[in-house]
Structure 1
Amino acid sequence: MTTVPTTEQPTHTGLFTQLFRFTVTGGISAVVDFGSLLIMTHLLGLPDNLAKAISFVLGTSTAYAINRRWTFRAEPSTKRLILVWVSYLLTFALQVGLYALTRPWLMDHFDYPTAQFIAFVIAQGAATICNFAIQRWVIFKAH
């Protein structure tokens, strides 16, 4: 049996490739998230938790757009989009909740920018691990 060459790209990539791409995408999205958080809190004077909620939406919107196309190489799908936003709502609660819980304690031990950054890293790290697992093994699972 002969195979006919195709120009279509495979729709599934391996775990380590996906993890690498997810990490790169997460870095880009974290810059959007943290950058917008700093702009909103330091330049616009928004309350910290409100700014964090908005910056999360901006960062995760960036992540979804890149991850769907590059990391998981998935076709557009309304069902997937809905599942991703449900996942983001769960990680939103996790991330904003951890940020709100850790920042006040950290501010007792560090200056404001340092406490803000450490709280961001803790919240971002937990949300990223949760988000990758949900997207890899539930939403964009290999068929």
Structure 2
Amino acid sequence: MISTKLKDQFIRFAVVGGICTAVNYVIFIALINFTEIHYLVASTIGFLTGLVTGFYINKNWTFSRDDEANKSYFMKYLLLYSFSLAVNLFILDFLVENYHVSEIFAQVVATGTTVLSNFFGSKMLVFKA
């Protein structure tokens, strides 16, 4: 049986993820449409912007950690999401280059693959909430 706390945290994580994904995609699409930046660079910039946004909201709202270990939490969060970014970029590039999927759709697929690992990694490794 799944605990109420776990359900609440996952719902909050999903809301924060939606916000961060929106930030990520707005930046990604703007860079793709209005600059000459390569789609992998655009994805990285969008991802990092969403990462910083997500860290602060997840720390303070999803997992309710308001102690002074900000630097420690952020380093763990950064490591977790660096792995996530690597997986995201691999899937994005694989779909675009091998299957000629549009960059925007491939980014949706790549992002969707990392949701559960990001939640459980944040919960168990970063914030231990």
State the TM-score, normalizing by the size of structure 1. Answer: 0.80
Q: How does 1:1-143 map to 2 (within 5 A)?
A: 14-75=5-66, 76-77=68-69, 78-107=71-100, 115-142=102-129
Provide runs of 4+ in structure 1 moved above 4 Å. none
Instruction: Give the 3-state SS of the residue equivalent to 1:45 in structure 2.
Output: coil
> Where does residue 3 of structure 1 map in the other structure?
none
Give the fraction of aligned pairs with identical amino acids, expressed as a percent.
Answer: 25
Q: RMSD of the alignment, in Å?
A: 1.5
- Show structure 1 runs of 5+ residues with no match: 1-12
Alignment deviations for residues 42-73 of structure 1 (CA, whole Å, 9 cap, x no partner):
01221111111111111111111111111001
C-alpha distance in 2, partners of 1:120/1:68?
A: 25
The residue identity in structure 2 corresponding to 1:96 is L
- Show structure 2 runs of 5+ residues with no match: none
State the TM-score, normalizing by the size of structure 2. Answer: 0.88
Instruction: Give the 3-state SS of the residue equivalent to 1:87 in structure 2.
Output: helix
C-alpha distance in 2, partners of 1:43/1:106?
A: 24
1:106 Cα offset (Å) = 4.2
